[in-house]
Amino acid sequence: MDPSVDTWDLSSPLISLWINRFYIYLGFAVSISLWICLQIVSKTQDRSLQEKSVPRAPQDLMTNGYVSLQEKDIFVSGVKIFYGSQTGTAKGFATVLAEAVMSLDLPVAIINLKEYDPDDHLIEEVTSKNVCVFLVATYTDGRPTESAEWFCKWLEEASSDFRFGKSYLKGMRYAVFGLGNSAYASHFNKVGKNVDKWLWMLGAHRVMSRGEGDCDVVKSKHGSIEADFRAWKTKFISQLQALQKGERKKSCGGHCKKGKCESHQHGSEEREEGSHEQDELHHKDTEEEEPFESSSEEEFGGEDRQSLNSIVDVEDLGKIMDHVKKEKREKEQQEEKSGLFRNMGRNEDGERRAMITPALREALTKQGYQLIGSHSGVKLCRWTKSMLRGRGGCYKHTFYGIESHRCMETTPSLACANKCVFCWRHHTNPVGTEWRWKMDQPEMILKEAVENHQNMIKQFKGVPGVKAERFEEGMTVKHCALSLVGEPIMYPEINRFLKLLHQCKISSFLVTNAQFPAEIRNLKPVTQLYVSVDASTKESLKKIDRPLFKDFWQRFLDSLKALAAKQQRTVYRLTLVKAWNVDELQAYAQLVFLGNPDFIEVKGVTYCGESSASSLTMAHVPWHEEVVQFVRELVDLIPDYEIACEHEHSNCLLIAHKKFKIGGEWWTWIDYNRFQELIQEYEDSGGSKTFSAKDYMARTPHWALFGANERGFDPKDTRHQRKNKSKAISGC
């Protein structure tokens, strides 16, 4: 036998495999693929069976024999029920609602609004995953109950305060049920509507439409207020169950078409009779409730209609515009009939017109101003509120020792001769270069200013955190800041008004915009006289202050010269606007030599929200470090001055003349009792016995000095930082 043949026979199977190797590879690949697919299908079926057999909530994660919930699957962590009650009805409803919520195995808390501090805690609801329910009653004349008064006042002010903004409560979920009586049609459920609106304006999310209970059994939708609440409660619990499961039922946002509320179209519950009318009314309410960022200092006046859209609350825009147009038509008709086109300052009877028009009065009252007569106003400063609660005073407390909780911020003239780009009223107050309005007497203005201020202080009685001793002190006005709005020195009887202040032992801090040099020269002594020096060149002053006078620059220089002749304390107020006036150091130094002020306050501009009348943005706000650097460089150019004090929270520093540094210690504070003695002697002598700034100075405490660890914050108080998502870079 041939050996080569045997070799061939043995190797022939291997050769066959080699020749068909591609088919073998393909078979292996197909087999592996089929095995992988079977494994995937098997695991999918097992997982599906497991999901069907285990409840959704506890199935998410098994670890060491314990069930743990993934945080992302907790859609509602609990419910907080806030109530404001006078007779106990709202409190009873809160208890009933709490029992219903607990049946869903959800934590629930019942909170009396009287014991709740929204300034400290409301922002926590943005990230808490709670649903907040507000059960609020409307009391006499449409006012909130005593227990809810502070909460409503805080919420109203926050909703129109640019420092909070329209996204302050973004992420918070809420529902509102109001208790009222439709027999009082003009303010039926006014408090519930307002709370709903203000929360919306701050960016909170309404989980369902507002409920309205009616004590009038004849007009009550369900026959009684209890039945109204039960119906609303049922809908709320249903919505809450949907939220628990992560479902996002569409809540009524107030934009439904007439008779077609989208939030109920897909629900199983049929709409009740008469609900279309309610939807239409609700549409009218909520249509006006879009979040709108605006300043608490906003005003509305007839001289600057173009900025209406940036300073009037949305819900009043249409009404005010109609009012303005009607007023304008009536005015034109009157002028045409009486031939008074040449005398715009007088009515058809020849009398001067009131400075505050009906539309302006309505807008300012809504923003928290207490208006006095025809041209004056008073408003509670936020630093007054802060110091009442032991949370620190304003920069005047740090620099000059005023007691912020005893300071009244007012003005005898809402009118101004400038339209500054950083005006926090967005140029809505009246403007003019001379007094052309009806004039009220100073005695009446002061009396009503003090009374209105005291009434606003009274509202803080019982508010969480308010110190009893400061509340009592706050009822007695000790200081008056004539800087609320406008140009106080325009008021023809400003000297009589100042004399009345001093007779009442009230110190005077008067601010002028340096456009009335004659009035400055004729001004009688004040505790401290301010001049706003917003720019150091003619071009930049025109750009920033936008004065009405054609000879504004000469008036500005003459005002500084008039200031130099004053014997009492004088202050320059410099407001830094980045990229506009921070590079004019040498020019500022020349102005300091011209007016020779005792003190120079340098403050970063405060951004007060968008305005069609100003191009100011956040980019123009300097950081505190930039303000400090500017002050250091300015002091190097004015050898008679040094940096004395700092109030970091207001982004403000004080430069003082070296004559107030005695024995190495600063004496920038004021001896107010001594000032009252000196001004009394001045008045008794008919003005012959004068006095100077050094005659009533007091030593500055260490914590107020520049370089101190406290950075200008009084250690007697407790620093409170608002829990806001946005970083504040300039205080107000």
Of residues 41 and 675, the one with the higher pLDDT is 675
Look at residue 540 in the predicted model and tell me its pLDDT: 81
Which 3 state secondary structure label does DSSP give 627?
helix
Most confident of 52-56, 69-73, 516-520: 516-520
Mean pLDDT for the stretch of residues 623-642: 92
Taking the C-alpha atoms of residue 672 and residue 654, their distance in angstroms, rounded to an integer, is 20
Comparing 204-213, 414-423, 447-456, 555-564, the range with the smallest average pLDDT is: 414-423
**Tell me, what amino acid is at 360?**
L
Question: Could you tell me which residues are beta bridge partners of residue 112?
Answer: 83
Which string of DSSP letters, residue by residue, matches 27-79?
HHHHHHHHHHHHHHHHHHHHHHHHHHHS-TGGGSEEETTEEE--GGG-S--EE
Prediction pTM value: 0.63
Mean pLDDT for the stretch of residues 79-93: 91
% the chain with pLDDT above 70: 73
Nearest to 484 by CA among 521, 429, 538, 535: 429
Look at residue 687 in the predicted model and tell me its pLDDT: 92
Comparing 277-291, 482-496, 548-562, the range with the smallest average pLDDT is: 277-291
Look at residue 579 in the predicted model and tell me its pLDDT: 53
Q: Which CATH number fits domain 78-245: 3.40.1190.20, 3.40.50.360, 3.10.450.50, 1.10.10.60?
A: 3.40.50.360
pLDDT in tens, 258-313: 334 444 444 333 333 333 344 443 434 433 333 332 323 333 333 333 333 334 44
Asked if residue 82 has pLDDT above 70, the reply is yes
Asked if residue 469 has pLDDT above 60, the reply is yes
Fold of 370-704: TIM Barrel (3.20.20)
Asked if residue 442 has pLDDT above 60, the reply is yes
Mean pLDDT for the stretch of residues 378-402: 93
Asked if residue 611 has pLDDT above 50, the reply is no
Taking the C-alpha atoms of residue 296 and residue 286, their distance in angstroms, rounded to an integer, is 21
192 class by beta-carbon count within 10 Å (0-12 exposed, 13-18 middle, 19+ buried): buried
The alpha-carbon radius of gyration of the chain (Å, integer) is 35
Mean pLDDT for the stretch of residues 382-399: 93
Owner of token pair 């300039």: 730
Look at residue 639 in the predicted model and tell me its pLDDT: 95
Mean pLDDT for the stretch of residues 714-723: 80
Asked if residue 130 has pLDDT above 70, the reply is yes
Look at residue 261 in the predicted model and tell me its pLDDT: 45
Indicate the average pLDDT of the chain. 79
Nearest to 124 by CA among 243, 207, 208, 204: 204
Banded pLDDT at 54 (limits 50, 70, 90): very low
pLDDT in tens, 516-526: 999 999 999 99
Mean pLDDT for the stretch of residues 162-174: 85
pLDDT in tens, 337-352: 433 333 345 554 556 7
| Spans of all domains in the chain | 78-245, 370-704
Look at residue 628 in the predicted model and tell me its pLDDT: 92
Look at residue 295 in the predicted model and tell me its pLDDT: 29
Taking the C-alpha atoms of residue 336 and residue 635, their distance in angstroms, rounded to an integer, is 59
Contact 576, 604 (CB under 8 A): yes
Contacts 24+ apart (CB under 8 A), 677-680: 679/502, 679/525, 680/502
Look at residue 3 in the predicted model and tell me its pLDDT: 47
Mean pLDDT for the stretch of residues 151-179: 87
Look at residue 429 in the predicted model and tell me its pLDDT: 61
Asked if residue 59 has pLDDT above 90, the reply is no
Mean pLDDT for the stretch of residues 581-608: 84
Number of H helices, E strands in the chain: 23, 22
Taking the C-alpha atoms of residue 214 and residue 191, their distance in angstroms, rounded to an integer, is 13
Asked if residue 251 has pLDDT above 70, the reply is no
| The pair of three-digit structure tokens given for residue 15, joined into one six-digit string | 């050769």
Asked if residue 364 has pLDDT above 90, the reply is no
Of residues 545 and 82, the one with the higher pLDDT is 82
